[in-house]
Amino acid sequence: MGLKVVQWATGGVGIAAINGVLEHPDLELVGCWVHSEAKNGKDVGEIIGTGPLGVAATNSVEAILAMDADVVIYAPLMPNADEVVALLRSGKNVVSPVGWFYPGEKEAGPLRAAALEGKVTLHGTGIAPGGISEHFPLVLSVMSTGVTFVRAEEFSDLRTYDAPDVLRYVMGFGDTPEKALTGPMQKLLDGGFVQSVKMVVDQIGFNADPTIRATQEIGVATGPIESPMGTIEAGQVAARKFHWEALVDGEPVVRVTVNWFMGQENLDPPWTFGPAGERYEMEVQGNPDFNVVIKGFQPESVEAGLKSNNGIVATAAHCVNSIPAVCAAEPGIATYLDLPLMSGRAAPRLAR
């Protein structure tokens, strides 16, 4: 049998992670934590829409802590450091897409102490942050010398994100600009993307100001915009941009940006994704300069995205595929800078 895996939470990422574990030859699903009483006791296969798996979900944290498992994929909507500390102390490695990609010492201290006590490892991963925003630009930068600037940028249609309450009440879409600008989203995003920028700064060796500059822009609807979360009316928030920059003498040397729009029509300012469409971009300026465009992590249509969002699946895959390396790592907190090369695994029908 392979490494024993517990899935924590069964939202979009959690369901995709379970499917990934089931396909991975070195992993075995042994447990699942769920938030709701309605899912408590159900076979995990029923929750994810497959046949029975023989693994019952539980909403008991104590049951998960007592479980014999090697690793927990910790993927709640909102991170809770106390939960992670408890998991680490119980002797379970933790892989998570909701934080701790490159934590500062103040944040890392209690987590590192818990990991050392449990003789296990914590690793933050994902797609952005946790991948395209720092890991892959750093990998690509090896092909340039004298680096002067690194950029990572996302362009996504948020109508494909099947979480209407999150879109409206957390991300601020459909709200007034004033409420969105003072809402929780900037602070929530800062927790991950600031770490991304700092990882690039430290690894490239920029003499950057320790304070990362975070800014945001708002676009509103000029007319009704239909979306799965409901109609966005004129004057309501329909597009958001967030930027994080590291500066050397006032000059940006690292920039991470997300562009999240509810489509491309009826927007003020009249933002669009441009001819390249939805994508991720990574840029390194140096000798030579180069730019990489990645397609495929955004769904081909809103309808397709509501059935299966490629970016969510990719986030889960990055978690799943990192598990063997994390379980083999020295106890503590392991970032991409501490782990060996990781890759996907062959589909079961093509595997050795």
Structure tokens at 290: 């180069």
Average pLDDT over residues 66-70: 98
Per-residue model confidence (pLDDT) at position 1: 66
Domain 3-126+313-350 homologous superfamily, CATH: NAD(P)-binding Rossmann-like Domain (3.40.50.720)
Q: What is the DSSP letter of 168?
A: I
pLDDT for residue 193 is more than 70: yes
**Does an H or E element contain 161, and which?**
none
Return d(Cα 111, Cα 340) in angstroms, integer: 22
pLDDT for residue 139 is more than 90: yes
Q: Tens digits of per-residue pLDDT, 220-229?
A: 999 999 998 9
Return d(Cα 73, Cα 66) in angstroms, integer: 16
Return d(Cα 53, Cα 95) in angstroms, integer: 22
Q: Are 122 and 115 in contact (CB under 8 A)?
A: yes
Domain 135-296 = CATH 2.60.40: no
**Does an H or E element contain 252, and which?**
strand 251-261
Of the chain, the percentage scoring pLDDT greater than 70 comes to 100
Per-residue model confidence (pLDDT) at position 35: 93
Per-residue model confidence (pLDDT) at position 307: 84
Q: Tens digits of per-residue pLDDT, 78-93?
A: 899 999 999 999 999 9
Per-residue model confidence (pLDDT) at position 77: 87
Average pLDDT over residues 35-49: 96
Q: Band the pLDDT of 30: cuts 50, 70, 90.
A: very high
String of DSSP letters for 255-299: EEEEEEES-SSSEES-----TT-SEEEEEEEEES-EEEEE-SSS-
Structure tokens at 330: 């020295």
Per-residue model confidence (pLDDT) at position 91: 98
Of the chain, the percentage scoring pLDDT greater than 90 comes to 91
Query: Is 75 exposed, middle or buried, given 0-12, 13-18 or 19+ CB atoms closer than 10 A?
Result: buried
Residue ranges covered by each domain of the chain: 3-126+313-350, 135-296
Return d(Cα 182, Cα 177) in angstroms, integer: 9
Q: Are 167 and 229 in contact (CB under 8 A)?
A: yes
Average pLDDT over residues 235-245: 98
pLDDT for residue 301 is more than 90: no
Q: Are 17 and 3 in contact (CB under 8 A)?
A: no
Q: Band the pLDDT of 163: cuts 50, 70, 90.
A: confident
